Amino acid sequence: MSESLSASLTGEFTFADWVESPVGPADAEPPRLAHATVRNAFSGGIVAADTRCEYTIAYTEGKTGRFVGLELVTGEVDGRAGGFVLEERGDFDEAGVVTCEFSVVPGSGSGALAGLTGGGGFTHRPGETSTPYHFSYELPAEG
């Protein structure tokens, strides 16, 4: 049986860019859909200066809704360089609080992150300039 490395880490990320556009009429009443293209910068246990994320957003009532997305992360996890994709699912409320859980897309790890599995999440509150995240992962042991 092969050995693996397991760890839990924390850090924060900042939005570098957020471009949102409606899917369908922009002035439609909920339910309505939107698409967002987002760039983030991660620090802490995950270091990635320029991630790329695509979200589909469902506004269900006022400014409340749910989103799903995929984020391409290229950088380092605990000092191991490579890339991977996060699948993200979350909710946002009328006050602008966003909660999200994410998991590594199976088989998406590359470089020293090949075989990466795991997941985590975050809660973003309005007015925060950076958002704390938590991430637990497993990687095959370096050989």
pLDDT for res 99: 98
Q: What is the pLDDT of residues 89-109, one digit of tens each?
A: 999 999 999 999 999 999 999
Q: What is the pLDDT of residues 10-45, one digit of tens each?
A: 999 999 899 999 998 878 888 999 999 999 999 999
Stated as kind and residue range, the H or E segment containing 25 is: none
Instruction: Give 1's pLDDT tier (boundaries 50, 70, 90).
Output: very low
pLDDT for res 2: 59
What Cα–Cα distance (Å) separates residue 4 from each residue in 62, 109, 125, 133, 142? 46, 15, 35, 23, 8
Mean of the pLDDT values across residues 39-59? 97
Q: What is the pLDDT of residues 64-84, one digit of tens each?
A: 999 999 999 999 999 999 999
Q: Is the peptide bond before 132 cis (omega within 30 degrees of 0)?
A: no
pLDDT for res 24: 86
Q: What is the pLDDT of residues 121-143, one digit of tens each?
A: 999 999 999 999 999 999 998 74
pTM for the structure as a whole: 0.93
Give the Cβ contact number of residue 25 at 10 Å: 8
Instruction: Give 48's pLDDT tier (boundaries 50, 70, 90).
Output: very high
Residue with tokens 């320029």: 50
Q: What angle do CA 134, 68, 57 make, to 5 degrees?
A: 125
